Amino acid sequence: MMQAQSDIFLGWSTFNGRHYYGRQLRDMKFSVDVEELEPVRFRAYVQVCGATLARAHARTSDPAQISGYLGNNDTFDQAIADFAEVYADQAERDHAALLSAIKDGRVQAQVGV
């Protein structure tokens, strides 16, 4: 269910306005050395990773089953909104703690890049 195509080695994507069609010859994984990417390329890489993950997860179940499970009220919508707010608050606390650790010298970081 996680595959976008029936052939598990076949896929397609759009990147920077261009369409790409790809096929793996064998089941191998690769990654990019993100520490070497300049900011523009890093953002593009993160967008591709996020889109790929979202697309895979969007295909993992039957829409009719999900709709039936969620029902007709806004309970799920409210739960997602509540989670998003709590998650955002935690992310802000984590960021503040990181900045504090950098300022105190407990964490080394290059800032202003």
pTM: 0.46
Contact 30, 45 (CB under 8 A): no
24-33 confidence digits (pLDDT tens) = 666 666 778 8
Three-state DSSP state, 15: strand
What share of the chain has pLDDT > 70, as a percent? 83
42-64 confidence digits (pLDDT tens) = 999 999 888 888 877 776 677 78
pLDDT band at 97 (very low <50, low <70, confident <90, very high): very high
- pLDDT above 90 (res 4): no
Task: Report domain extents, the chain.
Answer: 1-60, 74-113
CA distances from 78 to 15, 68, 74, 88, 94 (A): 33, 17, 6, 15, 24
